[in-house]
Every structure is written in structure tokens, then in C-alpha cells.
Chain A
Amino acid sequence: MRTEIISAKKNLPLFFSPALILIVLFVLFPVLQTIYISFFSSSGEFVGLDNYHDVLTSKEILNLGDVSQGLSQPYGLGALVHNMLWILIHLPLSMFSGLALAIILRDVKGASVVKSAIFLGMVTPMIVGGLILQFTFEEGVGIVNGFFNILGLEQLTRTWTAHPETALFAVIFGSVWLWTGFSLIVYSAGLATIPREYYEAAKIDGATPFRTFFRITFPLLKPMTLVVITMTLLWELKIFDIVWAAVGEGGGPGQASNVLALQMYVWAFRSFDFNRAAAVATILTALTLVVSVWMIRYMVKK
């Protein structure tokens, strides 16, 4: 299908200038400015990579001196490591939960109600989501401890967000609960596009459900998987609201659940150290660009 009109080039400005003006003024220019000030000190002198060096060696960001202590030590393992842990746990969990649920709900009556219930977490403002997490993990009041009590595991009850070794994981699992709806919806839509005939053909051939899944379903869902992975990765790197709300500006007990975006905010708007904050932001952006370049390469290939 032909999609292009031979253009009257003089019309280009009309169509593009409003968007480009806004983007240049409020996105590109600030981005460049942030990169710029990350190379300077607060007194205005050029310091090259000093800020980056400071950031990457500061315990708030990277605290691998004594890994055996794990998250219990001050600063935990550093915000960067916390973000990575977030990715390692949250991405596979939310993705596969969503996928599994999408498959289960394929033939369920009233599936859209169930899906909506699960999707509620995505619709909530993340700051509210974080507050809900804090409440849910609180000793005595929250259902997490309630479950443990019912199961007779009273020794496990505690305020999960107040203890350094569990704070980070509590928030991560909480965010899985919030974010699974996304992969659920995307996979549901994807599953709906797979023709029934494929499954029937597989059944006739005597394929087990597992084989059907791995040989037919999963490969056909590749574009969805890609989208879920990319969006989730980006989201995990940029996490801010949830942590702020669930454990506070300090990033938790001894900053055990600190994340890059939160540290950047604290440095910028509480310590007013704009240069270091800019370095953190640039590092964060570099990471996100890596992710998106990977996605674009796939898009372009197709």
C-alpha cells in the first residue's frame, strides 16, 4: 500500500514546526544543558569527568566494598545495584506472570473484569501505589503480615519496608504487583491475534500443551515480548514515585532501597548539588538509551 504523497515542500514547516519548537525548547535544550553542567563544578569551573567519578565512587550509588554485608550496611549496595536488582527480579516476574495470566484468562468468562482488577495497579498514580505498598507491608496492619499470620509463620511478620535487608525486595515485589497488568494486557491482545487453527492443528498432531506453548505461542508473541521488555526496562530504570512514597525521601533504612532517580532528586533539590545530579541523570539516560536503541534496531529490521 502506498503511503506517501509527493509533498509540497513548503508545507513542511507548518506540520513540523510546532512540534519541533516545543521539543527543542523543552526537551532537547534541557537535555543538552544537563549534559553540559555535568562536566562542571558548582563554582563554574570545568572539571571534566570528575562529577562522574564522584558519582560512581560514592557509596550512595555504588557500594560494593563489602558485599558480604549485603543490604544491611549503610547505603545498601548502592542505588545503581538496586536498580539492577530491580530489573533482575521485576522484569521476568511481571512478564511471565502477565503471560501466564493472559493464557489462563483466555477462555474465562468475565475475563475483562479480572484483567481490569489486575490492571488497576497500572492506572493508579505511582505515588499512591507506593503509599499502598507502605501500608501493605506494615507490621500488624498490612495483609502481607496477615498472610504470614494465617499460615502460622508469625516469626516472619515485621514491617518489611523498615528493615534494610527486606525493604528493597518488598518494594520490588510490590511493583510487580502493580506492573503485571501491563504485560497481561499486551499479551492478551497478542494472544487474540493467534488464529485458533494453529492450536487445533497442534492438537491434531498430538502436541502437549507445553510444546504448543513453546513452539507456537511464545514465538508468535515475540513482538509483544519485545514491547513488554523494553517498556518495563525503561520503567525500572526510572523508578521514583514508588520508592519515594513507600520508604520516603531518604530511600529507606540506611538508604537500602535507594534508586538512581531518587538520589538524583535528592542531590538536585535537597543538597542543591546540580552538577552531581546532572551526572547521575546522564548516566541514567545512557542506560535508557541503550535499551531503546536495542528496541529500535528490532523495529527497523522489520
Chain B
Amino acid sequence: MDDQVYGEKMKIRKSTIIVHIIAWSVALIWVLPFLGVFMAATRPWGEISHGWWNFAEFNPTFENFVAAWTDERASIAVGMLNSFLVAIPSTVMPMLVASLAGYGFARFSFPIRNYLFLTIVLIMAIPQQMIAVPIFQIMSSLGLVSNYIGLILVHSAWGLAWIILFMRNYFLTLPVEIEEAARVDGASDFKIFYKIVLPMALPALASVAVLQFMWVWNDFFLAQILIYDPEMLLATQRVSRMRGQYIVSWDLLSAASILVMIVPVLIFALLQKYYIKGMVGWTVKG
């Protein structure tokens, strides 16, 4: 009897070990390309031009990071600042606006509601390419090319569709009794929304904020369409600009890439819970 139990335990342990080994190997393999980039950013080209896994010579240095950070034509420092200047309002604005609309879809019933909602959901599928040219022309005539306001407006409008869907689904999970009680007490719809519902929705808002911020930060296409002034380029644009000039160096490029990556990776690391809830929230149907 004891032997049998012992035998089973041994079996379990063996398969668990194998599974663990597989899992960690997969993780390692997955991370290798990033490691490669890191090597390119910290080691002189001569050392790695035949494979960064050669450690015969190993003279790491951080000078590429410094160079990328302060580079006068494509300084990553300025680029990241610009990206923040765009990403933060592009997150806050749609959050507020879409929550309002999401609440409206969740709580109010009116004739065209479902059709309106359907349209908004369909908008989520549209590729950015579809609005590229008219947006450029509109912003051009408004004088908002190479001006963050234009980009912020477009990012906000673009984010509205998915945030409305997300918040509406979330609001549907909140019990309506509290709001009704407040209504009986005489509070207006907006007050209810603002003082009662919104505080309850903070976790959802956190997810929205994280996802939208990262999405805007990582964007390249819209920025490329609207921002041309060299001092105003966003971080993603600067990374791509470092390549394709007359003189291109991969060490600088790698360092720049890593710097630009740090922000979304940090956010993901610190706010992982909200990010994942935000993504998985898609499957919550109302």
C-alpha cells in the first residue's frame, strides 16, 4: 500500500519536473531575441558580428544608451517625453468620454440603441489605413499637422469604440439597485454616474487606462501620418528614423529600441493584473 502511494508520488514528481523543464525552456527560448538586442546594445559590434552568444570577448558598455538618449537628431529622451505628452491625454479623454457613452448604452433604453451600439462595435474592425488620408487632410486644413492636439484627438476618437464596448459590458455587471435608490433620492442621472457608478468602475477604468496608454505609446502609423517636425517626433518614430539614413548603426538602434520598450514593459510588469483583465474582458458578454 505504502509502496503504491510512493510510486504514484514519484510518477507525479517526474512528470511535473518534465513539465517544469519544458515551460522554463520555452520561456528562455522566447526571450532569446530580446537578449540578442540587449547584447547588440551593450557590446561593440566587432564582438557580436558573428553571433552574440560568443563571449570570448566581453566588453559591455552603456554608451549606446547614453548616445541614443541624447542623440541630437533623434534623441530618445525627447521622443519619450513627446510620447507621454500624447499618450496621457489620449488615455484620459477617451476614458471619460467613453465611460459616459458606455453607461448610456448599459442603462438607457432608446429606439436606436442597438443599431448605434452595433455601429460602434463595427468601427473597432476598421483599420487605421482607412482614415489615414482624410485625417491627414483634415488636420492639414486645421493647421494641426505636427501638432499634438490633432494626434490626441484622433487617438481618442479611435479608442472610443473599444472602450465604449468594454465599459458598457462592465457596467452591465453592476447591480442596478444602488443607482435606482439614488434616483429615488432625487439625484440626476449624471450625478449618479459621476458619484456612484464611476467609483465602482475603478478597476475597469484601470484596465482601460493601461491598455489604451500602451496602445497609444506603441503606435507608429498615426504618428507617422501626422507628426513631421523633427523636434516633435514620438519615441516610436525616432527609433525607426535611426535606421535608413546614410549612416546606420545597429548598436545605437538597439539601445534606442530597448529604451522605448521599457515604458510599456514596466507598465505591464507593474499593472499586469489590470492589463490581463482588460484583454480577457473581451470574453465577458453582456
Binding site for B on A (CB under 8 A): 1-9, 11-12, 14-16, 18-20, 22-23, 25-31, 33-34, 37, 101, 104-105, 107-109, 111-114, 116-121, 123-128, 131-133, 135-136, 140-143, 145-146, 149, 177, 182, 185-186, 189-190, 223-224, 227, 231, 234, 237-238, 240-241, 244-245, 248, 260-261, 264-265, 268-269, 274, 277-278, 280-282, 284-285, 288-289, 291-293, 296, 299, 302
Q: Which residues in chain B, 207-255, are within 8 Å of chain A measured between CB atoms?
A: 214, 217-221, 225, 235-236, 239-240, 243-244, 250, 253-254
Separation in Å of the A107 CB from the closest CB of chain B?
Answer: 7
B260 contacts A128, CB within 8 Å? yes
Add 11 more A-B contacts to A5-B179, A127-B236 (CB < 8 A): A5-B107, A14-B190, A18-B100, A27-B157, A120-B265, A131-B257, A142-B36, A185-B276, A186-B279, A245-B240, A260-B129
| CA–CA, A274 and B26, complex, Å | 45
**Stretch of B3-11, B17-25, B64-72 that contacts chain A:** B17-25
Specify which chain A residues have a CB less than 8 angstroms from the CB of B186 in the assembled complex.
none
Specify which chain B residues have a CB less than 8 angstroms from the CB of A108 in the assembled complex.
19-20, 23
Separation in Å of the A13 CB from the closest CB of chain B?
Answer: 10
B220 contacts A126, CB within 8 Å? yes
**Stretch of B55-63, B133-141, B198-206 that contacts chain A:** B133-141
Q: Which residues in chain B, 29-50, are within 8 Å of chain A measured between CB atoms?
A: 30-34, 36-37, 40, 48-50
B22 contacts A281, CB within 8 Å? no
B101 contacts A20, CB within 8 Å? yes
Separation in Å of the A232 CB from the closest CB of chain B?
Answer: 12
Separation in Å of the B37 CB from the closest CB of chain A?
Answer: 5
A23 contacts B123, CB within 8 Å? yes
Closest A residue by C-beta to B156: A22
Give the residue of B98, B118, B250, B285 whose beta carbon is less than 8 angstroms from that of A302.
Answer: B285
Specify which chain A residues have a CB less than 8 angstroms from the CB of B236 in the assembled complex.
125, 127-128
A104 contacts B19, CB within 8 Å? yes
| CA–CA, A29 and B131, complex, Å | 9
B26 contacts A128, CB within 8 Å? no
Specify which chain A residues have a CB less than 8 angstroms from the CB of B48 in the assembled complex.
141
B261 contacts A128, CB within 8 Å? yes
25 A-B contact pairs sorted by A residue (CB < 8 Å): A3-B286, A7-B110, A19-B98, A23-B123, A26-B153, A27-B126, A27-B158, A29-B134, A119-B268, A124-B261, A125-B218, A127-B220, A128-B261, A135-B250, A143-B32, A186-B280, A190-B283, A238-B128, A268-B133, A281-B129, A285-B125, A285-B127, A289-B126, A292-B122, A296-B122
Which are the 5 A-B pairs with shortest beta-carbon distances? A292-B125, A26-B157, A30-B134, A15-B104, A30-B131
Specify which chain B residues have a CB less than 8 angstroms from the CB of A281 in the assembled complex.
127, 129-130, 132-133
Closest A residue by C-beta to B159: A22
Specify which chain B residues have a CB less than 8 angstroms from the CB of A268 in the assembled complex.
132-133
- Quick check: is B52 within 8 A (CB to CB) of the other chain? yes
Check A16/B127 contact, CB under 8 A, given A120-B34, A185-B280.
no
- Quick check: is B97 within 8 A (CB to CB) of the other chain? yes
Specify which chain B residues have a CB less than 8 angstroms from the CB of A149 in the assembled complex.
51
Residue of B49, B220, B269 most packed against chain A (CB within 10 A): B220
Specify which chain B residues have a CB less than 8 angstroms from the CB of A12 in the assembled complex.
104, 108, 110
Specify which chain A residues have a CB less than 8 angstroms from the CB of B134 in the assembled complex.
29-31, 33-34, 37
| CA–CA, A50 and B216, complex, Å | 36
A3 contacts B107, CB within 8 Å? yes
A132 contacts B97, CB within 8 Å? no
B161 contacts A23, CB within 8 Å? yes
Specify which chain B residues have a CB less than 8 angstroms from the CB of A123 in the assembled complex.
214, 261, 264-265, 268
Closest B residue by C-beta to A277: B133
| CA–CA, A142 and B217, complex, Å | 27
A3 contacts B106, CB within 8 Å? yes
B33 contacts A23, CB within 8 Å? no
Check A264/B129 contact, CB under 8 A, given A123-B265, A186-B280, A245-B240.
yes
B172 contacts A240, CB within 8 Å? no
| CA–CA, A285 and B123, complex, Å | 10
Specify which chain B residues have a CB less than 8 angstroms from the CB of A244 in the assembled complex.
220, 240
B129 contacts A241, CB within 8 Å? no
Separation in Å of the B188 CB from the closest CB of chain A?
Answer: 7
- Quick check: is B53 within 8 A (CB to CB) of the other chain? yes
Separation in Å of the A162 CB from the closest CB of chain B?
Answer: 15
Specify which chain B residues have a CB less than 8 angstroms from the CB of A264 in the assembled complex.
129, 132
Give the residue of A19, A240, A277 whose beta carbon is less than 8 angstroms from that of B164.
Answer: A19
B51 contacts A8, CB within 8 Å? no
Closest A residue by C-beta to B150: A26
Separation in Å of the A81 CB from the closest CB of chain B?
Answer: 18
| CA–CA, A36 and B121, complex, Å | 22
Residue of A20, A190, A248 most packed against chain B (CB within 10 A): A20
Give the residue of B101, B108, B190 whose beta carbon is less than 8 angstroms from that of A4.
Answer: B108
Specify which chain B residues have a CB less than 8 angstroms from the CB of A114 in the assembled complex.
23-24, 26-27
| CA–CA, A273 and B225, complex, Å | 15
Separation in Å of the A283 CB from the closest CB of chain B?
Answer: 10
Give the residue of B33, B96, B129, B183 whose beta carbon is less than 8 angstroms from that of A136.
Answer: B33
Separation in Å of the A208 CB from the closest CB of chain B?
Answer: 15
- Quick check: is B88 within 8 A (CB to CB) of the other chain? no
B133 contacts A37, CB within 8 Å? yes
A189 contacts B276, CB within 8 Å? yes
